[in-house]
C-alpha cells in the first residue's frame, strides 16, 4: 500500500532547556521521526517536523547538529508566521509561557505546553478560553500518567484489586545539590520565587492530574511549605538566596473519602524504591508504584505484625510483595503523550489532557500556597 506522508511543523520554544532537549526533542519528537512517523488508520503517515526556537544561536546550532539538522531560529514571530508550522510547543521557564502561548493561539496554531500552564489560574483559564474560542487544539504535558509504574497501578485500580481505597501516600524527592561543592542537577530559577520557582508550583500540578485521574477529584488541600536550604549556587557558580519553597508537606481530601498525603522535597535522601513512590492502601490489598515498577500485596498475603522491639523484627516485610508484571511495551511517557497529541491534531482523536486540565494543576498549587500562608485547609473549587 502506498503511504502518503503528512508533515506537521512543530515550533519548539525553550527546546534548549532540560525538558525541551531531553524529554521533548530527543526522546519524543526525534524518536517518533526515527520510527518513521505515526501511521494513521487511513495509511497516511504523520511526520513531526521540529523547528527549534530559543535565544542562543550557539545552543540552537549545536542542538540541531545533534538531531539531524532540523530548522532553527531565534525569531519566534517568524516561526509563528510560517504556515507550515501548525503546532506551537512551549517548554520555556514557566513565567514566559502565557505570552507566547497566547500569541500562538492568536495566530491559529494548535498549542501544547509544559506544566505549569501559567503563573495563575486566571491566566491558565484565559488561555483555555482563548484556545476554545479560536477553535485550535490544545494540550498540557501530564507525563506521569504514562509512567509504566503508574499504568500498572491504574490497572490494579480498574481490576478492583484494592477493594475500597482508603488512602494514598506519595513520596517524591531527592537531594538537589546546592552548587558550591557538587554541581546542582536542576536549574537555579527553580529555587527563586521571583523567577516563578518553588516546589509547590512545580509539583502540585503533577499531583492534581495524578490524583484526579486515578482516584477522583480533589476537594481540599492542607499544605505546609518550607525553604530548608536558604542559599544555593547558580549556573555561573555565584551564590544566591533561595527564596522559593524547596519542600512541601501536603494532604489532599478526595471525593469519596480517600485521603492522600504527599511529601515533595528537594532536600531529602532516597531510601525507597524510586524517586517517586505512591503507596495505595485498600481494604483488600495495597500497592506501591514507582516510575517503572509496581508491587502489590493482597489481603490474603498480609502479614500480622505484633509490636515487640525487644527482639529482631521476625518478618521480612519487603518479601511479602509481588511484582506487577509488564503487560505491554512501555514507551517514554512524554513520547506516549506526544503521540496522542499528534493524533488529536491530525486525526481528531480524543485528548482530554487539555488546557483546562492544566489550569486545574495551577489552581491546586495556588490553593496549596494559600493553605500554607493562612495555615488552614483550602477548598478546591470547580473550574469551568
Site residues, ligand NAD (CB under 6 A): 14, 16-20, 54-55, 91-94, 96, 114-116, 141, 143, 187, 202
Q: Which residue in the shown chain puts its C-beta closest to ligand NAD?
A: 17
- Nearest distance, CB of residue 235 and ligand NAD, angstroms: 9
Nearer to ligand NAD, 48 or 198 (CB): 198
- Nearest distance, CB of residue 202 and ligand NAD, angstroms: 6
Question: What's the burial of 157, exposed, middle or buried (CB within 10 Å: 0-12/13-18/19+)?
Answer: middle
Query: In the chain, what is the straight-line distance between the N-terminal and C-terminal CA atoms, in Å?
Result: 45
Phi, psi (5° rounding) for residue 232?
A: -135, 175
Element housing 172 (H / E): strand 165-173
Nearer to ligand NAD, 162 or 353 (CB): 353
- Nearest distance, CB of residue 114 and ligand NAD, angstroms: 4
- Nearest distance, CB of residue 313 and ligand NAD, angstroms: 37
Instruction: Report the distance separating Cα 294 and Cα 69, nearest Å.
Output: 39
SS (H, E, C) 270-306: CCCCCCEEEEEEECCEEEEECCCCEEEEEHHHCCCCC
- Nearest distance, CB of residue 21 and ligand NAD, angstroms: 8
Nearer to ligand NAD, 91 or 150 (CB): 91
Please report the DSSP string for 314-351 in residue order: ---GGGG-EEPPP-SPPPPHHHHHHHHHHHHHHH----
Instruction: Report the distance separating Cα 351 and Cα 343, nearest Å.
Output: 9
Instruction: Report the distance separating Cα 335 and Cα 30, nearest Å.
Output: 10
Nearer to ligand NAD, 29 or 165 (CB): 29
With contact defined as beta carbons under 8 Å apart, do 193 and 283 qualify? no
- Nearest distance, CB of residue 335 and ligand NAD, angstroms: 13
- Nearest distance, CB of residue 28 and ligand NAD, angstroms: 12
Nearer to ligand NAD, 296 or 367 (CB): 367
Looking at residue 79, the DSSP 8-state letter turns out to be: H
Nearer to ligand NAD, 37 or 274 (CB): 274
Task: Enumerate the β-bridge partners of residue 297.
Answer: 286
Nearer to ligand NAD, 162 or 191 (CB): 191
Instruction: Report the distance separating Cα 333 and Cα 148, nearest Å.
Output: 8
Amino acid at each position: 500500500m502506498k503511504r502518503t506522508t503528512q508533515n506537521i511543523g512543530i515550533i519548539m520554544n525553550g527546546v534548549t532547556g532540560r525538558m525541551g532537549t531531553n524529554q521533548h526533542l530527543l526522546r519524543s519528537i526525534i524518536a517518533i521521526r526515527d520510527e518513521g512517523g505515526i501511521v494513521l488508520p487511513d495509511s497516511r503517515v504523520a511526520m513531526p517536523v521540529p523547528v527549534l526556537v530559543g535565544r542562543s544561536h550557539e545552543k540552537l546550532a549545536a542542538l540541531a547538529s545533534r538531531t539531524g539538522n532540523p530548522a532553527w531560529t531565534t525569531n519566534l514571530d517568524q516561526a509563528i508566521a510560517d504556515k507550515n508550522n501548525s503546532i506551537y510547543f512551549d517548554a520555556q521557564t514557566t513565567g514566559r509561557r502565557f505570552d507566547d502561548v497566547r500569541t500562538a493561539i492568536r495566530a491559529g496554531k494548535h498549542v501544547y505546553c509544559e506544566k505549569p500552564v501559567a503563573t495563575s489560574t486566571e491566566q491558565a483559564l484565559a488561555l483555555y478560553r482563548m484556545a476554545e474560542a479560536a477553535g485550535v487544539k490544545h494540550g498540557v504535558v501530564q507525563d506521569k500518567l504514562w509512567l509504566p509504574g503508574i499504568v500498572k497501578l491504574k490497572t490494579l485500580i480498574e481490576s478492583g484489586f484494592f477493594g475500597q481505597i482508603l488512602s494514598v501516600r506519595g513520596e517524591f524527592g531527592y537531594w538537589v545539590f546546592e552548587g558550591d561543592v557538587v554541581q546542582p542537577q536542576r536549574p537555579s530559577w527553580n529555587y527563586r520565587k521571583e523567577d516563578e520557582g518553588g516546589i509547590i508550583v512545580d509539583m502540585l500540578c503533577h499531583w492534581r492530574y495524578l490524583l484526579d485521574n486515578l482516584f477522583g477529584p480533589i476537594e481540599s488541600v492542607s499544605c505546609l511549605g518550607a525553604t530548608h536550604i536558604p542559599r544555593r549556587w547558580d549556573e555561573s557558580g555565584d551564590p544566591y538566596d533561595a527564596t522559593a519553597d524547596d519542600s512541601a508537606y501536603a494532604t489532599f481530601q478526595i471525593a469519596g473519602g480517600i485521603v492522600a498525603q504527599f511529601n515533595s522535597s528537594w532536600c531529602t535522601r532516597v531510601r525507597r524504591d524510586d524517586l517517586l513512590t505512591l503507596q495505595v492502601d485498600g481494604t483488600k490489598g495495597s500497592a506501591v508504584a514507582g516510575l517503572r515498577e509496581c508491587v502489590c500485596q493482597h489481603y490474603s498475603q498480609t502479614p500480622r505484625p505484633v509490636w515487640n522491639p525487644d527482639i529482631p523484627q521476625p518478618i521480612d516485610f519487603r518479601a511479602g510483595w509481588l511484582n506487577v508484571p509488564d503487560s505491554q511495551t512501555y514507551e517514554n511517557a512524554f513520547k506516549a503523550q506526544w503521540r496522542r497529541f499528534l493524533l488529536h491534531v491530525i486525526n481528531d482523536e480524543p485528548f482530554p489532557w487539555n488546557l483546562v486540565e492544566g489550569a486545574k494543576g495551577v489552581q491546586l498549587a495556588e490553593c496549596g500556597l494559600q493553605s500554607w500562608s493562612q495555615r488552614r485547609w483550602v477548598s478546591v473549587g470547580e473550574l469551568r
